[in-house]
A and B are shown apart, each in its own frame.
Chain A
Amino acid sequence: MSEHLLDMQSLIGGYGGNDILKGASLTVAQNEIVVIVGPNGAGKSTLMKSAFGLVKIRQGAVIFQGEDITNMRPDLVVRRGMSFVPQEKNVFPSMTVQENLEMGAYLRKDGGAAQQMERIFEIFPRLKERRKQAAGSMSGGERQMVAMGRALMLDPKLILLDEPTAGLSPLFIEQTFERIVEINKLGIGVLMVEQNAKQALEIAHRGYVLAMGRNRFEDTGAGLLANREIAEMFLGG
Chain B
Amino acid sequence: MDVTDLLQLAIYGVVLGSILTLGAIGVSLLFGILRFSNFAHGDIMTLGAYAAFAVVSTLHAPVWLALPVGMIAGALVSVAADQLVYRRLRRTQPVILLISSFGMALIIRSLVQLVWGPQDRSFVKGIDMPMHFGDLMVSPQQLWILGGTIVIVIAVHLFLTRTRMGKAMRAMSDNMDLARVTGIDAEKVIVWTWALGGALAAAAGVFLALDTRLTPMMGWSALLPIFAAAILGGFGKPYGAIVGGMIIGVASEMSTAVLPPAYKPATAFAVMVIMLVVKPNGLLGARR
Residues in chain A within 8 A of chain B (CB atoms):
52, 54, 73-75, 78-79, 83-84, 86, 89-95, 99, 102-104, 106-107, 150, 154
Contact = CB atoms under 8 A, between A and B. Distances in A.
A155 to B, nearest CB: 12
Given A75-B186, A89-B175, A106 B181 contact: no
B178 A86 contact: yes
14 contacts: A73-B180, A75-B180, A75-B186, A79-B183, A83-B181, A86-B178, A90-B178, A92-B175, A92-B178, A92-B179, A94-B170, A95-B171, A102-B167, A103-B168
B164 A74 contact: no
A90 B175 CA distance: 9
B182 A150 contact: yes
A154 B184 CA distance: 12
A102 B170 CA distance: 12
The 7 closest A-B pairs by CB, nearest first: A78-B183, A92-B174, A107-B183, A74-B180, A84-B181, A74-B181, A75-B183
A129 to B, nearest CB: 21
A96 to B, nearest CB: 10
B213 to A, nearest CB: 39
Nearest to B183: A78
A106 B170 contact: no
B120 interface: no
Contact of A106 (B168, B175, B177, B287): B168
Contacts of A104: 182-183
Contact of A99 (B167, B177, B181, B287): B167
Given A73-B180, A75-B180, A102-B167, 12 more contacts: A52-B181, A54-B181, A78-B181, A78-B182, A83-B181, A84-B181, A89-B178, A92-B175, A99-B171, A103-B167, A104-B182, A106-B182
Contacts of A84: 181
B77 to A, nearest CB: 27
Given A102-B167, A103-B167, A106-B164, A95 B183 contact: no
Nearest to A108: B183
Contact of B170 (A54, A83, A92, A107): A92
A70 B45 CA distance: 43
Contacts, number: 64
Interface string B231-270: 0000000000000000000000000000000000000000
Dominant secondary structure of chain A at its interface with chain B: loop
B90 to A, nearest CB: 14
A74 B183 CA distance: 7
B185 interface: yes
B177 A103 contact: no
Contacts of B178: 86, 89-92
A150 to B, nearest CB: 7
Given A75-B185, A75-B186, A89-B175, A95 B167 contact: yes
B20 to A, nearest CB: 23
Nearest to A94: B174
Contacts of B185: 75
Interface in B28-75: none
A104 B164 CA distance: 11
Contacts of A150: 182
Contacts of A106: 164, 168, 182-184
Contacts of A93: 174-175, 287
A92 B164 CA distance: 15
Contacts of A54: 177, 180-181
Contacts of B174: 92-95
A154 to B, nearest CB: 7
A86 B178 CA distance: 8
A97 to B, nearest CB: 13
Contacts of A102: 164, 167
Contacts of A95: 167, 170-171, 174
